[in-house]
A and B are shown apart, each in its own frame.
Chain A
Amino acid sequence: MFSQPTKSLKALAATCAAATALLLTACSSSGGGFQESGDTGSTTSASLRLLVNITPVLTKEFYQDLVKPYTDAHPGITVTIEAPTGSDVSATLQQQLAAGSAPDLVSGSLGRDTVPQLAALPEEQWVKDAPYAEQSRVGGVMWQAGSGNQVQSIVYYNKAAFTKAGITAPPKSLDEFTAALVKLKGAGFVPTQTAGEWVTGAQVQMMGNVNVLGPTPDWFTRRNTGGVSFADSPWRKVLDTYQSWIEQGLTPRDAMGLKYQDAMDQFAAGKSATFIMGGWYIPTAKDGVGVFAMPTVDGSPAPVAGNPSIPWSVTKSSKNRAAAVDLLKFLVTDKDAVTKELKAEGNFRKGFEYDATPLNKEVAAIVSAAPATVVASNGQGDNSAPTGFNDEFNKLVQGLYLDQKPEGVLKSIDSWYTSNAK
Chain B
Amino acid sequence: MSHAVLLTPATVMIALFMLAPIALAAYLSFTDWDGLSPNPQSVGWDNYAQLLRDSDVGHAAVVTLIVTVVGTLTCNIAGLGLALLLNGPGRLNGVLRAVVFYPYVIGPIIIGFLWSAILGANGAIAHVLGNAGHSPLPFLSDPTWAVGSIVAVVVWSQFGVNVVLYLAGLQTVPPALHEAARVDGAGRWQTFRSVTWPMLAPSVTVNLVLVLVGLLRVYEIVLALTNGGPAGRTNTFAFLILSESFRTNHLGYGAAQAITLMVVIAALALGLTALRRRAEDAVSA
Residues of A at the B interface (CB closer than 8 Å) are 4, 7-8, 11-12, 15-16, 18-20, 22-24, 27-28, 30, 33-34, 36, 87, 91, 94, 97-98, 111, 113-114, 116-117, 196-197, 252-259, 262, 265-266, 386-388, 391-392, 395-396, 398-399, 401-402, 404, 420
Contact = CB atoms under 8 A, between A and B. Distances in A.
Interface residues of B, number: 49
B24 A402 contact: no
Given A16-B19, A402-B230, A116 B248 contact: no
B140 A257 contact: yes
Nearest to A32: B38
Given A28-B38, A196-B140, A256-B140, A7 B20 contact: no
A15 B140 contact: no
17 contacts: A4-B3, A11-B7, A16-B20, A18-B15, A20-B20, A20-B24, A28-B38, A91-B247, A253-B138, A255-B141, A257-B139, A257-B230, A258-B120, A262-B121, A387-B247, A387-B248, A404-B231
B143 interface: yes
B229 A113 contact: no
Interface stretch (B29-37, B191-199, B256-264): B29-37
Q: Which 5 A-B pairs give the minimum distances between C-beta atoms?
A: A388-B248, A257-B121, A257-B141, A34-B38, A256-B230
Contacts of A254: 121, 136, 138, 141
Interface in B132-156: 136, 138-141, 143, 146
Contact of B249 (A12, A33, A113): A113
B17 to A, nearest CB: 9
Contacts of A30: 38
Contacts of B226: 196
Interface string B229-246: 111110000000001101
A259 B116 contact: yes
A402 B144 CA distance: 11
A54 B119 CA distance: 28
A94 B37 CA distance: 10
Interface of B: 1, 3-4, 7-8, 11-12, 15-16, 19-21, 23-24, 27, 34-39, 116, 119-123, 136, 138-141, 143, 146, 226-233, 243-244, 246-250
Nearest to B23: A20
Contacts of A8: 3-4, 7
B91 to A, nearest CB: 41
A114 B141 contact: no
B121 A258 contact: yes
Contact of A388 (B8, B16, B19, B244): B244
Given A23-B23, A257-B122, A398-B230, 14 more contacts: A4-B1, A8-B3, A24-B27, A34-B37, A116-B36, A117-B36, A252-B121, A255-B121, A257-B139, A257-B140, A257-B146, A257-B230, A388-B249, A402-B143
